[in-house]
Structure 1
Amino acid sequence: MTALADVPEILSNVPGTYPYGVWRRRHPRLLARIRDAHLYPPHLRDALDALCEETVQGVITALPRTAHDHGTWDAWCREHLGKPWPDAPFLWAEGYFYRRLLEAVDYFRPGPWFGHDPFGFLKTEDLQGYAPEPLDDDLPEPERAQQLLLGSLWGNLNDLGFKVGGEHAGADAVGLVADESAAVWGVLRRDAGLALVVVADNAGQEIIADLILIDFLLATGRAGTVALHVKPQPTFVSDATTSDVHTALRLLPAPVADRLRAAAGAGRLTLDTHAFYCAPYPYDRAPADLLATFAAADLTILKGDLNYRRLVGDRHWPATTPIVTAAGYFPGRFVTLRTLKSDALVGVAPDTLAALDATGEPWRTTATHALVQTNLTPG
């Protein structure tokens, strides 16, 4: 275990807190929208209603014995079975909620709903009428690089789980609470030829911005190779899967899409995934093969709020804690690009923290603020 174990985990059982609202408002609204959007038969509609009732008023129960992965989840659930859902760690409970949701809609069961993304209709709605803004090729390269990095960062606003729940929907970007982007470009120099891992977050507009950034990194030789990691199955509403990447590819400007296809054909751009990306735990519990992948990369880019929570353990760190303290266990150099949509936070300067807290606004959970943080010299 790491230093993560010495800091209390964030729970969901305190009325008035952000995690409490996720169980009381976001998840019931999400389940209702999924039920009403599909031609589900009565038993699947009943299963969604039962999941809603269990998570709001009941206690955590196990996956059915017919589930293909019930043995794995039995081990992960052992210490939480019989607890009210909000009494389990927030990160763990959310991960299990989304696994239970897929079970409720027969995602893994052979039949008409096998492999059907229950969030697909929301992803489609979000992209209706959307087209990426034209790229400004006349900008000096350093300015263009920063523009694309910030585009990828603020693309994380497009989190459909956040929107479905109604939490500050349509929030506007305000600013960065920490900005180490200069250090990022100090590593990602032109023609550096680095081996990058990019751990994606959301589909739709965010993955489009990510692909545009990846194209730039490959085209300028800053990256020699990029392994884009996506989720192995739909989860957290809009987390990107392989299918979502290809939907995004079709919406990219033709020159960008063509270059990305050529990079894939040359082995410079690959899509990858790992079962642990849908596990309910921080990265300090990742299996050896995934940790080895991070260790072998010259740099890992971790996108979004969920990856940040997994990086720092979704715990009540004092916000001024250096990120190297919270995530020093990570086995390679990393940069994390995240808009703030939950409570976990480290690496904020004391004066910045004081100024933000003085506003009286819930700035940690409104997606109005963001950060670029790094550890470029991991121990």
Structure 2
Amino acid sequence: MEFDTKTPPYRTGDKSSFAYVSARDRWPVIITQAIDDVYRSVTESDDSAKQEEGKKIIAELARLKYELQHDRQLTPIRDDGKADVSVYNHELEQLGTPNWFDIPWLFCECYLYRRINTSFSLSTHWKTYDVFYRQKINTFRSSRPAVLELAARYKDLITQMGHDRRKTEAGRDEAQRILFFEMCEICLWGNATDLSLLTSLTYEDIQKLQGSEARKASEKNILVNDLGDAYEVLKKSQREGKKERRVDIVLDNAGFELYVDLILAGYLLSSGLATLVVLHPKSIPWFVSDVVPGDFAAFLGALADPKRFYETPSDDEKLQDKTPPPLSEKDSADLGFLFQEWTRMHAEGQLILRPNAFWTYPGGYWRLPSVEKNLYEDLKNSELVIFKGDLNYRKLTGDAAWDPSTPFTEAIGPLGPGSGVNVLALRTCKADVVVGLTPGQDEEIREKEEGGGDGGARKWAWNGKWAVVSFSQGR
């Protein structure tokens, strides 16, 4: 807390904020879904000891839901041997052991998922269980139309880059710039399928949020777009012939968003804009849909045999007596091309995973230089660190109630100019905090339908329809 911005954070008790809506409406649904998932796994198990332990976890999650809905005091994280226990409990003590509905939103939401994880990490049979895995993999399956569209597009682009020698150098540079913009915007809008928010949408609704037509229609909703500055940083290091040109991606969601993140990573490596891409997943199941290392393995497993993955009915389809349509030979070949490309890059050390417990600590990234110095120094070796999604943006800015015209470089504090870290945030807005807007822009959007109007709420920033792409040159 001592390293945080002095700008007040958003709190769960603020009725005009999305924090209030999240604590009262979203979080009980998320806990209920977790309970349902464990119950389902308990009934599928034939191990009596695992069943009994699973029932105990269900009871603990039900108690957590009760505490939340009845605005009880937050209790200390039980000691499961992880280094962050003291971090959470020390901050909880500094906050005065508050209640659920009167606490900084960012800390409280991190605490919620850490509490959920503790029930599993203290068990014997469920220690590595990902209570959100089923939702993540099912949502990736439901993203089939957009997955196939991008697979075909990616294969064509990579093939063309390998064979097209007709363009002049200037022509190749312009094509590379355009492709960089397109790949980053695909990554940006891939975040539209954040599972922690989509608690009631159907799979058909999810599919409408994806695909090229949806992206083109959404370009006008990018309120800040610093992609040009980020591209120039990468292009400069390429022109200078630096032996290692590293790009880091601090991941957000699994499923379709991980897929588009790898599309971007593969493009950066194939184009020569990067020679190494470091992916930063979370170390524990987090915010429902965030990537953990196991998601990466499951994702590659799905692409290794796409016909089996996409043609096998899901549990819900079995209940509805539905059979997925078969994949065409072309679709299978396109996905096979991706699998071969990405596994080769991974095997050759060009594409690596580097989890760190810091990403699931409470609080914001203002603390990074002081709290996790090794990680901070490591990120300085990167030409560009891309922070994906809403939570990473909230953490970068301390989830604070900044004036929306505050420069992004100011709002990220110690990670701004002079930090030694080049920061690019790709974020669809799903929380109140937003910076870098022109004066009066926030007020203008509030006047639009569902924008918030005179109610004091910035509702336009809650639904993922608007986005910001913000860059800070730290070195």
In the superposition, the TM-score normalised over structure 1's length comes to 0.91
* CA distance in 1: counterparts of 2:86 and 2:395, whole angstroms: 23
CA contact (8 A) 2:189 2:428 kept: yes
User: SS where residue 163 of structure 1 aligns?
Assistant: coil
Q: Which moved more, 1:136-145 or 1:323-332?
A: 136-145
CA contact (8 A) 1:60 1:80 kept: no
1:81 Cα shift? Answer: 5.1
Structure 2 residues not aligned, in runs of 5+: 43-53, 161-174, 304-334, 452-458
Letter in 1 for 2:361: A
1:42 Cα shift? Answer: 3.4
1:281 Cα shift? Answer: 1.3
* CA distance in 1: counterparts of 2:56 and 2:67, whole angstroms: 16
Q: 2:134 aligns with which of 97, 121, 127?
A: 121
Q: Deviations over 1:245-279 (max 9, x none)?
A: 22333455222332222222222221001111110
Residue correspondences, number: 375
Letter in 1 for 2:122: R
Q: 1:247 aligns with which of 270, 293, 298?
A: 298
Alignment pair present for 1:258 and 2:340: yes
* CA distance in 2: counterparts of 1:10 and 1:232, whole angstroms: 26
User: 1:1-379 maps to which residues of 2 (within 5 A)?
Assistant: 4-39=4-39, 40=42, 41-57=54-70, 58-65=72-79, 68-69=82-83, 70-80=85-95, 82-104=97-119, 107-131=120-144, 132=147, 133=149, 134-135=152-153, 137=156, 140-164=175-199, 174=218, 175-189=221-235, 191=238, 194-251=245-302, 253-286=335-368, 287-330=372-415, 331=419, 332-360=421-449, 361=451, 362-376=459-473, 378=474
Change (3 A) 1:15 1:141: same
CA contact (8 A) 1:27 1:165 kept: no
Q: Give the structure 1 partner of residue 320 of structure 2.
A: none
CA contact (8 A) 2:17 2:432 kept: no
Change (3 A) 1:328 1:64: closer
Change (3 A) 1:165 1:329: farther
Letter in 2 for 1:149: C
Letter in 1 for 2:466: H
1:24 Cα shift? Answer: 0.9
Change (3 A) 1:7 1:16: closer
1:358 Cα shift? Answer: 2.2
Letter in 2 for 1:329: P
Letter in 2 for 1:255: F
1:66 Cα shift? Answer: 5.5
CA contact (8 A) 1:337 1:372 kept: yes
Q: Which moved more, 1:122-131 or 1:300-309?
A: 122-131
Change (3 A) 1:328 1:8: closer
* CA distance in 2: counterparts of 1:334 and 1:33, whole angstroms: 35
Q: Deviations over 1:329-361 (max 9, x none)?
A: 113111110000001111012253343122151
1:67 Cα shift? Answer: 5.6
1:327 Cα shift? Answer: 1.5
RMSD: 2.4
* CA distance in 2: counterparts of 1:202 and 1:243, whole angstroms: 13
Letter in 2 for 1:79: Q
Letter in 1 for 2:224: A
* CA distance in 1: counterparts of 2:80 and 2:423, whole angstroms: 39
1:37 Cα shift? Answer: 2.5
* CA distance in 1: counterparts of 2:359 and 2:279, whole angstroms: 13
User: SS where residue 247 of structure 2 aligns?
Assistant: strand
Change (3 A) 1:251 1:369: farther
Which aligned runs of 4 or more in structure 1 are off by greater than 6 angstroms?
Answer: none
1:145 Cα shift? Answer: 2.5
1:65 Cα shift? Answer: 4.6
User: SS where residue 135 of structure 1 aligns?
Assistant: helix
Q: Deviations over 1:273-295 (max 9, x none)?
A: 11111101111112111111222
Q: By percentage of residues, which structure has more helix?
A: 2
* CA distance in 2: counterparts of 1:68 and 1:315, whole angstroms: 28
User: SS where residue 352 of structure 2 aligns?
Assistant: strand
Q: Which moved more, 1:169-178 or 1:39-48?
A: 169-178
User: SS where residue 162 of structure 1 aligns?
Assistant: coil
Structure 1 residues not aligned, in runs of 5+: none
Change (3 A) 1:96 1:3: closer
CA contact (8 A) 2:38 2:58 kept: no
Q: Which moved more, 1:247-256 or 1:359-368?
A: 247-256
1:68 Cα shift? Answer: 4.6
Letter in 1 for 2:234: L
1:74 Cα shift? Answer: 2.4
Q: Which moved more, 1:210-219 or 1:48-57?
A: 48-57
* CA distance in 2: counterparts of 1:88 and 1:222, whole angstroms: 43
* CA distance in 1: counterparts of 2:133 and 2:95, whole angstroms: 30
